[in-house]
């Protein structure tokens, strides 16, 4: 089996990529990878209408699945939450016959506007990020998928009124994309050894 036969699917959970600097920059960098298919929920699930069977088929055909999303109040955006609610259904992702995603490799790719330091007791976000992500990871774990890596970049705030800097976000996004490309390539190589 050669590298080009690996199917890598990225599910973009940003609800409005037209307004995103970080997620757009990351996706633009990743789209240069021939083995990668980018699936933008804000485009295919307009008005929160999800074609469940098509989404499930897309997942079952992938070898590696990347969930790309900005952290909104310490979880994924509402569009991605609804997508998980509807697509990860009984007897597809869990239940007696729900093994369709079992052993699929998963990479989490997360952008955070806040600082890393803010995710601890006594700071703005109160708890370590890992505690917030437990609920978000539940459908992935229930589907018996294997999380092989998590790439998180903090300080991804481009809103100048909130102290953000668009130029900094672009640089951080490029670094994030390079880390993600490295992990994807390593995983593809490992699968085909």
Supply the CATH number for residue 174's domain. Answer: 3.40.50.360
CB-based contact 76:133 (threshold 8 Å): no
Q: How far apart are CA 47 and CA 41, in angstroms?
A: 10
- The parts of the chain modelled with pLDDT lower than 70 are 1-6, 125-126, 158-164, 193
Q: 156, 168, 171, 158: which is closest to 68 by C-alpha?
A: 156
Q: Report the alpha-carbon angle 92-96-101, nearest 5.
A: 35
Q: Which residues form the domain of 13? A: 3-191
Q: What is the pLDDT of residue 3?
A: 40
Q: What is the pLDDT of residue 144?
A: 96
Cα radius of gyration (the chain):
17
pTM to 2 decimals? 0.91
Domain count, the chain: 1
Q: What is the pLDDT of residue 30?
A: 94
CB-based contact 59:65 (threshold 8 Å): yes
DSSP state of 51: -
């Amino acid at each position: 089996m050669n590298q080009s036969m690996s199917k890598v699917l990225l599910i973009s959970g940003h609800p409005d990529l037209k307004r995103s600097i970080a997620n757009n920059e990351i996706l633009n960098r990743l789209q240069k990878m021939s083995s990668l298919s980018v699936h933008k929920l804000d485009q295919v699930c307009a008005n929160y209408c999800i074609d469940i069977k098509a989404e499930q088929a897309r997942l079952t055909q992938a070898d590696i699945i990347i969930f790309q999303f900005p952290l909104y109040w310490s979880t994924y955006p509402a569009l991605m939450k609804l997508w998980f609610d509807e697509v990860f259904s009984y007897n597809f992702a869990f239940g007696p016959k729900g093994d369709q995603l079992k052993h699929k490799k998963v990479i989490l790719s997360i952008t955070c506007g806040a600082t890393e330091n803010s995710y601890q007791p006594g700071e703005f976000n109160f708890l370590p990020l890992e505690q917030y992500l437990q609920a978000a990871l539940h459908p992935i774990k229930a589907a018996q998928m294997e999380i092989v890596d998590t790439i998180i970049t903090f300080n991804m705030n481009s809103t100048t009124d909130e102290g953000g800097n668009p130029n900094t976000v672009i640089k951080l996004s490029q670094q994030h994309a390079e880390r993600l490309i490295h992990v994807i390539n390593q995983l593809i190589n490992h699968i085909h050894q």
